Amino acid sequence: MTIITQAIETKYIKASNVRGARIKATALAGSLTVGYDWELDAAGNHAAAAQALIARLEWTGTFAQGGNAAGNGYVFVDVQSLTEDRDVWQAEAMENLARPSLTPEEGAQAFAYWEASLPTDNQTEGDEA
């Protein structure tokens, strides 16, 4: 089973002589730009831009928000799908382990597959390796 999850990255675009401040949300599937809402804080504006892109792309799920590596925006990842996929992997691995016809090599392979799907000490649930 392959996880195909796209992250959404947002960034602040400062005001120009022509346009006001705005937030751009970008994913591999597309992007959009929304005007900055001065009644929201920075995190709220980035979340609103990500939600607008999620709605446009008709995505569903539970998205986690975190700062990007550059420190100039946020990243949003669908953690619900990642968790559901991991649960499916674990169920398949446990089913394979319970099969009476499973050889020791197949059992070890199924266990390794299941173990690889778990977050490492340096990951939180939803992080990709």
Question: Per-residue confidence of the chain (129 residues) as pLDDT tens digits?
Answer: 444 578 899 999 999 999 999 999 999 999 999 999 999 999 999 999 999 999 999 888 888 888 888 888 899 988 776 666 666 666 666 666 555 665 667 667 777 776 777 676 655 555 554
- Residue 26, in any domain of the structure: yes
- Residue 61, in any domain of the structure: yes
Phi, psi of 48 (to 5 degrees): -65, -40
- Residue 121, in any domain of the structure: no
Counting the structural domains of the chain, the total is 2
Q: Do 26 and 57 reside in the same domain of the chain?
A: yes
Q: Do 15 and 71 reside in the same domain of the chain?
A: yes
60 DSSP 8-state letter: -
- Residue 122, in any domain of the structure: no
Q: Do 19 and 70 reside in the same domain of the chain?
A: yes
Q: How far is CA 76 from the centre of its chain?
A: 6
Domain with 109, as residue range(s), is 81-116
Q: Among 86, 88, 67, 85, which residue's Cα sits nearest to residue 7?
A: 67
Q: Among 65, 57, 5, which residue's Cα sits nearest to residue 31?
A: 57
Distance CA 127, CA 129 (A): 6
Q: Do 94 and 32 reside in the same domain of the chain?
A: no
What pLDDT score does 56 carry? Answer: 95
What pLDDT score does 95 carry? Answer: 66
